[in-house]
Every structure is written in structure tokens, then in C-alpha cells.
Chain A
Amino acid sequence: MAKPKAYVQKDMCLACGGCISICPQDALLWISSKAEVNTVLCNSCSLCVKTCPIGAITWEGQ
């Protein structure tokens, strides 16, 4: 089974851009002033999940 991809819970995202600045795959981008994961590019490395100061990034399906 494919690894789950990172997922931004939009109502928790405070839009600091930390995840975007750190993603080695450039898989995060701004959509309507919140971070969003491009699941095609995400390689499930978990850096953004660990970096989010608020805990707004989890895994798809969780």
C-alpha cells in the first residue's frame, strides 16, 4: 500500500509558511491563504508534519 501523504487541516493552519519553506519536494503551496499539499509531489518524508508549530499537518485519512 502507498504511504499516506501529508494533509493540512485548513481550519487549523495559521499561514506562517514554515512547511512551504522546508519541504524538499516543493509539495506545499498557498491556496486561498492556507498551506496545501500537492499529493503528487509529496513523498511522505514527514518534515512538514514535525515542523508545524500548531500541529495543523497530519496524514491523509487520519
Chain B
Amino acid sequence: MKYDVVVVGSGPAGSVTARFAAEAGAKVLIIERRAEVGVPVLCGEGIGQKVDAFHVLEGTRWIASKMDGARIFSPNGTKVTLAAEYAGSETGYVVYRDIFDQELARGAVKKGARLMLNTRAVGLLKKNGKIAGVQALHLNKTIDIEADVVVGADGVESRIGKWAGIQTTLKPHDLETCAQYTLANVDGTSPYCDFYLGKQIAPGGYVWVFPKGKDTVNVGIGVLASLSDSGKALRLLDKFIASHAELKSGQPLRLLSGADPVAEPIESIRDHLLLVGDAARHVDPITGGGLMLSIEGGKLAGETIGRAVEQQRFDQQFLSEYETKWKGAFGKKLHRNYVVKETLLDMEDKTLDMLADSLKDYKFEEFSTFSLIKALVTKHPSLLVKLTPLMKLARA
């Protein structure tokens, strides 16, 4: 079997990369180790409405509900509302990730990509010392898939990057370990995504409640792996649900676990190889959200691969166009948010409560860094010291 591109993994990053590479004329194969695209779901299922601008999803079957904003609850329960109309921030969707992923894969296939299920990459093929495809197990048979470009879209646990010599092992400090229930028999009609902070609630992470419409919600938790012990995420999630009257009546339709990199991005290219999505650590270190970045990065990767195939240039130097472009699009934001994550992790619950108290009446329509800082320190001057690292960042 010989292709221009083999994409390992049929999640959003893999499918979108495949779509744009195929559209540019490349002969693309996606391999997926599981028996169904998008299943099992491993995600909170939230994404900004900016996704519409990429035109990679048809219809509305993948949308569970539309969100108007977010509410953040500090450890003592102080609520800060970030309504879209005030915050100038984007509104969002809660999605059905299985349908969402299948729609993205369908889009790639429609542009000419091929898709093989039950196919697990077990190693890289090499020719004259250069990467020349992947070796895979397909229904327990070993097959060689030759390709000029290998795309590692193989998630947080990426092997492709590791086999190519990229340091992909995450430190416990840079991984959120997650559990989530989809609960029925609760009110799922709120227009807000809710986030709950606090060391007792979710050490080094947060609890989220995303309404899915009608009588279902996703309620999930992320705990920083360095602050976790066996089964802690699920135990704390059960405790949270038991202590919230509006969730207590819920019955689980689904339990899932998740692992979310909250790290700085890593190298994303080698000769004949690119990493995309979670495998490239294209995840916002504050929220743990990576859907949008996977689509944004996947598009850039697919376009670069299209040009590479056209010019038959597969060296790292040529492929670096992809790295330059994603760094330009969101590299700075990822670095900045990593520093913010570190600052937030150092904060005591008391500090978070003070922050929330200062912000609860803040009119986000007047949003400017100066007015925000003024609002913060007028009420609680001691916040000035705690926020110094962020001020430095704002000036940089």
C-alpha cells in the first residue's frame, strides 16, 4: 500500500488534516485503532462558535445545545458571570462528540481520504534512515503502509511522536486526569457553562457542568495528576454531585474518563512527519480545551502537506511552514495561558475568593486591562502581589 500521507488517528485533528491534504490533491489514508470513529467519547464536549468559520461541519446534528456564556464559581461559591454580550467573548456549543467526530471524518472522506478502522500503528517504517510510513496491526495482521508523510494525530498518549524521537511523555504537573458523567433527569436548559474552582472540589483543576438541552448535562472533573491518587477524580466528582441539589436526582447515561495535556506545546515536525492536536499538545493549558485548536492546527497541517506533496518536498525545513503557522495562530496564547495556569495553581482558595469578589460586579463591557486591574485591587489590595506574574505577562 502506498499513499502520500498516512494519518494516525481519526479524531478532529486527524480528520481535519486529512481533509485539507486530500482537498489539495494528496492521496490520504487515515488509520484508526478503534472500531468506530468518535467512540468512546473522551471529552467535555464544549467548543466555541468560531468553529463555524472553518466550514468543516455540515448541518446541526452534532450540536446538543448553544451557550450564551460562562459562570465561574470560586471556592466559597462567589459567582462571576461572563455573559457573551458583556465579555465580548465568543458564545459556544455543547456538542455530541461521537457525531461531531464522525461528521469531520465524513468531510475528509468526501474530499477523497480513505479510512481504515481496527488498525493500530505499531511502529514507523524507515527507508534509507528516513521515515517512510507506518507499520500497523490490522485485525491482528501486520501490514506496511508506505507514505511520504506520517501524521501523528494519536492523542495525548502519542506514540508516533515518541518513535520519531520527540519527547512526548507528560509530567504529572502537566496532565489533568478527568472523569465525566452524562446525567439525565436534571435541568439541562441553562444557557451557561458552569465552572467550579477550589482545592477541595478539584485540586489543580475544576468541575464543569455543561447543559446538553432538555434534561441532560455533562458534569465532569479534572484533577492535576500530580495532586491525584487512585480513583480520586471519580470520587470527587461523585461527592460534588451528591452535594448539589440540582444534580443529585440525575442518573448516569454515560461515564467516561479522560486525560488532558495542560503543557507547553512540543516540537511538531521531523523529516516526513508532523504532529497535530493533543499529540502536539495543542490544548489550552487553562481550560484543557483542545477541540478548536485541533481544527485550526489540522487545517494548517493539511495545507502544508498539500504543498509538500505538490513539490515532493518532505524534509523538516519544508514542513516547518506548519510549525511557523500554528505558532503564529495560537503559539503565543498557549505560552501565555501556561504561565496563567501556573499562577492559578499557586493561588490559595482565599485568593480565588478575593478575585471572584472583586469581579462579581465588574462590567465586562468596559473591559480593558487597566480597568480590570483597578477593579481587582480597589476591593482587595493584597491581590496586587498575587497577580504580579500576570502583570509581567501583560506587559511582555
Contact = CB atoms under 8 A, between A and B. Distances in A.
Nearest to A33: B34
Given A50-B228, A53-B179, A58-B230, A14 B257 contact: yes
Interface stretch (B56-64, B167-175, B319-327): B167-175
Interface in A40-61: 47, 49-58
Contacts of A17: 42, 155-157, 259
A54 B233 CA distance: 7
B228 to A, nearest CB: 5
A15 B42 CA distance: 9
A23 B170 CA distance: 8
B259 A18 contact: yes
Contacts of B120: 30
Interface residues on A, range: 20 to 34
A53 B221 CA distance: 9
A22 B225 contact: yes
A5 to B, nearest CB: 15
B179 A51 contact: no
Interface in A1-47: 14-18, 20-24, 26, 30, 33, 47
Interface in B63-106: none
A33 to B, nearest CB: 6
A50 B229 contact: yes
Contacts of B232: 53, 55
Given A15-B40, A16-B42, A17-B259, A22 B231 contact: no
Contact of B225 (A15, A24, A33, A51): A51
A14 B42 CA distance: 9
B157 to A, nearest CB: 4
Nearest to A57: B230
A23 B169 contact: yes
A53 B157 contact: no
A60 B103 CA distance: 42
Contacts of A49: 229-230
A59 to B, nearest CB: 10
A13 B34 CA distance: 15
Given A18-B175, A21-B175, A24-B169, A50 B33 contact: no
Interface in B188-207: none
A32 B243 CA distance: 37
Contacts of A24: 169
Contacts of B225: 18, 22, 47, 50-51
Looking at A14, A53, A54, A57, which has the most chain B CB atoms within 10 Å of its CB? A53
Interface string B256-298: 1111010000000000000000000000000000000000000
A53 B255 contact: no
B117 to A, nearest CB: 12
A50 B259 contact: no
Given A18-B156, A21-B261, A53 B178 contact: yes
A52 B221 CA distance: 13
Given A14-B255, A30-B33, A47-B172, A21 B156 contact: yes
Looking at B34, B170, B221, B225, which has the most chain A CB atoms within 10 Å of its CB? B225
29 contacts: A14-B255, A14-B256, A14-B257, A15-B257, A18-B175, A18-B225, A18-B257, A21-B156, A21-B168, A21-B169, A21-B170, A21-B175, A22-B169, A22-B171, A50-B229, A52-B177, A52-B230, A52-B231, A52-B257, A53-B177, A53-B178, A53-B179, A53-B234, A53-B257, A54-B233, A54-B234, A55-B232, A55-B234, A55-B235
The 10 closest A-B pairs by CB, nearest first: A55-B231, A18-B259, A53-B233, A17-B157, A20-B157, A14-B257, A16-B257, A21-B157, A53-B179, A53-B177
Interface of A: 14-18, 20-24, 26, 30, 33, 47, 49-58
